[in-house]
Structure 1
Amino acid sequence: MNIRAPYDERSTLYEGDEIEMAKLGKIKMLHNNQFRCLDRAALLSENVDKEYCTKDADTMSRWRLCSVTEVEEVKLIVRTLPIWLSLIPFSISTAQLHSVFIKQASTLDRKLGTIEIPPASVAVFLTLTMVLFVPIYDRIIVPLIRRRTGNERGITLLQRMGVGIFIAVIGMVTAALVERKRRNLAGGRPQSKQVDMSVFWLLPQYSIFGLAQSFTSIGRLEFFYEQVPNNLRSLGTAMYLTSVGVGNFLSSALITIINRTTEPRWIGRNLNTSHLDYFYWLLAALCFLELGIFLWLSFWYRYKPVPRIHDLQTE
């Protein structure tokens, strides 16, 4: 195809017919200079005549010419993929909340008066933290930050997720310190005997991860829902769910690899003779590395361009 280059986007990029796009449930998107190689799909060439550009959208071949909006929709998906990948280590860390953390709780004193708390029930600390913090964040913290930043959300979605990843690092460090104390008290005893240490020692790490999920998990859901094309909202939700699912899968794979390569095992049948704290330190380092990569991607990322209300009214 004969493409004229260099080109002026406004004069040589095919914008498409707004009425036909509306019939397909699409909204006109502004051109973005990122991933300019994809703009070739919307470039008018010497082989594309004016009659072809006026064809009905249903009969037009997308293999020959696409509109700017269609190209920008592809760019949106491409831009979100690195963010999707960078959030997987966070999902690996949060997968421990309902697996290794619970196994850790099973070795502790879970008595509350005459009641013995089931190990899996300690995860309620996570839920309670989120239930209490999210309204405080939305009603108090966001308005205060909004006054300084002018952002309707207080901070951007990427900033919100970054804060959550940083908190997750603190959560894993806390879990490692608590586990070291628990292991020292256990003294290598059989796991069938409870350690003389209250299960409420796990409250800090669960609460910290509750804060982390209030930032990153909620921000991640909103990010993928908003940053994909308007007619592909379900894809955004799927990207959120798959990032969580892949994290859980890789968590199992990581534990298997660690148990096969460490001696004594970091996560053995008897936690009292294992080194679970080493595993937590590894996850803390992984989250810290993730934070650095995520910050770099955040500076690189460009949010979905949306026409201003004034421009829409003028058109």
Structure 2
Amino acid sequence: MSHPIPKMVQIRVFSGDFRCLDKAEVITAIENKNGNFFNPWRLCTVTQVDELKILILMFPIWATGIIICAVYAQLGTLFVEQGMMMDRTIGSFSIPAASLSACDIISVIFWFLVYDRVIVPIARKFTGREKGFTELQRTGIGLFISVLCMVSAALVEMKRLALAQALGLVDENVPIPLSITWQITQYFLFGAAKVFTFIEQLEFFYKQSVNA
């Protein structure tokens, strides 16, 4: 005599992606024989399988965040070390290399206002979208700006190394006569990248979890 199938494990797949995972929710002869429909190592519910599919589909989007996180890690490492080997004096003041990261905070505030008051209204006229761009489009823009940030840092470093070589200071642990204010551009660009990418990724994942 076959056992009745519990309602919670009725097969009802509504996602056509990764159909190989649907086997996890199929009741086999073993479950029908022993009547154990609640072993999570043998049988999963439709909801569990579909939630796994959603996570797999979102993984490529999540993986793109590694790019901007890698750039973010440079703020407290590469950028600071680079600033320590540059001229940190402005007038009679000596600026600590790490304190220049305040430009990142100022940049976020500036770009948030520009994005909300200028960029979105202009983009809305062309795209017809309430927010101007989709979450993925804004994330892509932010990733592109983060690349420009590292390009700016690379150009500053090339200039610093060229000047050090010209002055014979390559192996010397002394600052190069190149103003640390050249770093403001890379901090400013990263602030823009954060406004476009971090906020939109959070909004995208939140919407996906709610719609799931």
SS of residue matched to 1:87: helix
Secondary structure of the 2:182 match is: helix
Tell me the residue number matched to 1:149.
127
Tell me the distance in 2 between the aligned counterparts of 1:127 and 1:116. 20
The match for 2:15 is: 32
For residues 151 and 45 of structure 1, the distance between their equivalents in structure 2, rounded to whole angstroms, comes to: 48
Q: Give the SS at the match of 1:169.
A: helix
Separation (CA, whole Å) in 1 of partners of 2:76 and 2:145: 18
In structure 2, the CA distance between the partners of 1:191 and 1:207, relative to structure 1 (3 Å rule), is farther
User: How many pairs are equivalent?
Assistant: 196
User: Which consecutive unaligned segments of at least 5 residues does structure 2 have?
Assistant: 1-9
CA contact (8 A) 1:107 1:193 kept: yes
Offset at residue 95 of structure 1 (A)? 1.1
CA 180–79 in structure 1, closer or farther in 2 if over 3 Å, else same: same
Q: 1:183 to 1:195 in 2, by over 3 A?
A: same
Q: Deviations over 1:6-41 (max 9, x none)?
A: xxxxxx8438xxxxxxxxxxxxxxx33222333445
Partner residue of 2:186 out of 205, 228, 236: 205
Q: Report SS of the residue matched to 1:196.
A: strand
Distance 2:51 2:140 in 1: 25
Task: Give, in angstroms, the shift of residue 47 of structure 1.
Answer: 9.8
Q: What is the Cα deviation at residue 175 of structure 1?
A: 1.4
1:146-178 superposed Cα distances (whole Å, 9 cap, x missing partner): 333233432222211111121122222221111
Match for 2:52 among 59, 74, 79?
A: 74
Structure 2 counterpart SS, 1:98: coil
Aligned match of 1:218: 199
Other-structure match for 1:124: 102
Q: CA deviation at 1:198?
A: 1.0
Task: Give TM-score, length-normalised by structure 1.
Answer: 0.54
What secondary structure is seen at the aligned counterpart in 1 of 2:177?
Answer: strand
Q: Is the 8 A contact 1:14 1:44 kept in 2?
A: no
State whether structure 2 residue 4 is matched by structure 1 residue 14: no
How far off is 1:42 after superposition?
A: 5.1
Q: Deviations over 1:277-308 (max 9, x none)?
A: xxxxxxxxxxxxxxxxxxxxxxxxxxx56xxx
The residue type paired with residue 217 of structure 1 is F
Q: What's the counterpart of residue 180 of structure 1?
A: 158
After superposition, the Cα gap between the structure-2 partners of 1:149 and 1:42, relative to the gap in structure 1 and judged at 3 Å, is farther
Q: Provide the secondary structure at the position in 2 that maps to 1:121.
A: helix
- 2:27/2:43 contact within 8 Å kept: no
Q: Aligned equivalents of 2:130 and 2:19: distance in 1?
A: 30
Cα distance in 1 between the residues matched to 2:129 and 2:22: 31
Query: RMSD between aligned alpha carbons?
Result: 3.0
* Structure 1 unaligned blocks of 5 or more: 1-11, 16-30, 53-59, 231-303, 306-315
Q: In the alignment, which residue of structure 1 is the partner of 2:142?
A: 164
Alignment-derived partner of residue 298 in structure 1: none
| Identity of matched residues, % | 38
Residue pair 2:26, 2:43 contacting (<8 A) in 1 also: no
Task: Return the TM-score normalized by structure 2.
Answer: 0.76
How far has the Cα of 1:48 moved from its partner?
A: 9.5
Kindly report which structure 2 residues correspond to 1:276-287, keeping only aligned pairs within 5 A, or say none.
Answer: none
Q: Is the 8 A contact 1:14 1:43 kept in 2?
A: no
Shift of 1:105: 0.5
Does structure 1 retain, via aligned residues, the 8 Å contact 2:135–2:204? yes
Corresponding residue for residue 238 of structure 1: none
Q: Show the 5 A alignment for 1:224-239.
A: 224-227=205-208, 229-230=209-210
